[in-house]
Structure 1
Amino acid sequence: MQLNWIGRSEGVEITFNVENYDQTLTVYTTRPDTFMGATYLAVAAGHPLAQKAAENNPELAIFIDECRNTKVAEADMATMEKKGVATGFYAKHPLTGEAIPVWAANFVLMEYGTGAVMAVPGHDQRDYEFATKYNLPIKAVILAADGSEPDLSEQALTEKGTLFNSGEFSGLSFEEGFNAIADKLASLGVGERKVNYRLRDWGVSRQRYWGAPIPMVTLEDGTVMPTPEDQLPVILPEDVVMDGITSPIKADPEWAKTTVNGQPALRETDTFDTFMESSWYLRPLHLPAVSGRDAGFRRGKLLAAGRHLHRWY
């Protein structure tokens, strides 16, 4: 699970020139061995190229509005219906010189990568479904495991294999093709090897009472800063009413009021999510005997818990 969260991948960042557009498009791929099978590019609805194309394309403008008003989590993108609109722009394939259409698609997000992807429908199932729906070319460039040309009539061949139908790179294995195409693109100044990670900022605030207080304050002038050390620890209000609807902390405006650097300030009323709380009891497991109010708790040698606790080891 940790490996998936971190999401380290090795690939190539490729630059495409776009006809009648003053900017280039940059995509990242972990499968440069399939590069000769790229038949279209897809950009996010919020990409500057899509915005530019929408100025003279009412259908695209409507599509962009629909995407803007539809929030899709990354986890849902694999199962949702793939939709798109042609932008009217064409990119030049750096190795073949072919003109590749650029589409705006709902499965590309500006928040991830460059907001543009290279589509190889012959060897990527998502690209295959989109190409099939919109009658885009599907080109096979990887042989099946038995050495035969793959049957792409129903689905893409996503397994790695020997390159074919790829010009000077035909006959190479996955690793050989990866390196040869990466080196070729680099020599032309349109490709660069990259290591990418899927890690993103994580929202940790929760609108509930039970949780570790977030030690931040907002000053009267709008400045947000950490709670001063002399006001730590932040203690949650105890005289609260649990109505199951609103956060009892927010329902107590007096608790939030404080003073910092001589200015009126408001404490943060959200609390940390449960993973913050999950970490605290790992600390006492290796500490010596405690005293005071904690003396009645016996230290254990075994912690039996769910897989979510792996994050704190």
Structure 2
Amino acid sequence: MRLTCSSLSLYSLPVDEVIATVAKLGFAAMDLVGIPTLQPIHLDVARRDPDELGRLARAVEDAQVEVATIVTVPSDGMPSWDPAEVNARVGWAVSACRAVSAHRLVLDAGNPIPAEQVERKQAIARWKAMIDEAHRLTSKAGVAFAVEMPHTGTLAERFDQVEELLDAMDHPDIGLDYDTSHVYRSGTSIEDGLRIIGDRVVKVALRDVGEDGEFCRPGTGRVDFRGLFALLHARKYTGDIVIELETPGVINPSDQIREIGLSRTFIEATLAGL
């Protein structure tokens, strides 16, 4: 297993500073997360500035860090579902993967548009159309593709819904991004979750959940990380485990850097104790 860091852990910084900071912290690789409504935007799939990809590529080259995965939510911030716009955003994310040599794209499990009231069957159908287009584009570009689920607030909050979406998308080669905080919130144990979908897990995002139900850094909440790592080791998982933090109230970049450091210390000590 390789420990990496997500740009989401430094969401207060502009992307060039995030890339440089992750490298300075000694991580060999990182995830780049582009969410249109989260400022400053680390990858702007909505605006699609022609100069953006070149700037990102230069920042990555200057920092000498690998961007392993690009993560985005194409429908984020849209007033209504627009298939052409969704596909354009997916296409931009794939282009970004190629620009920074990221080997994987991760998309969401059906992020809702707040202003809409859509029946589940329709929501799954249009999500599947997005997934089909992403699968087509990533296959053509030689980029691996995964979906993050379960995930609170999406079409796949629970594992029965995860299985429903897996059946709907019908692409066995699409992997899964396994976020420990959302697995905890799903009500299913980490062990049972891995039993259900473990063979498809290609990335693990590490985040804890406190007694109040809010996100917190690993080791300060309810998630059993020692148990998780033991299960992953038993499954011979060799992919990335990613520090992905969104701790409420931790906004100052220096505090975010401190949170990353504390998370890393806890994770490495837990792994060493197996």
- Structure number having the greater helix percentage: 2
Scaled by the length of structure 1, what TM-score is found? 0.23
Scaled by the length of structure 2, what TM-score is found? 0.26
Larger gyration radius, structure 1 or structure 2: 1
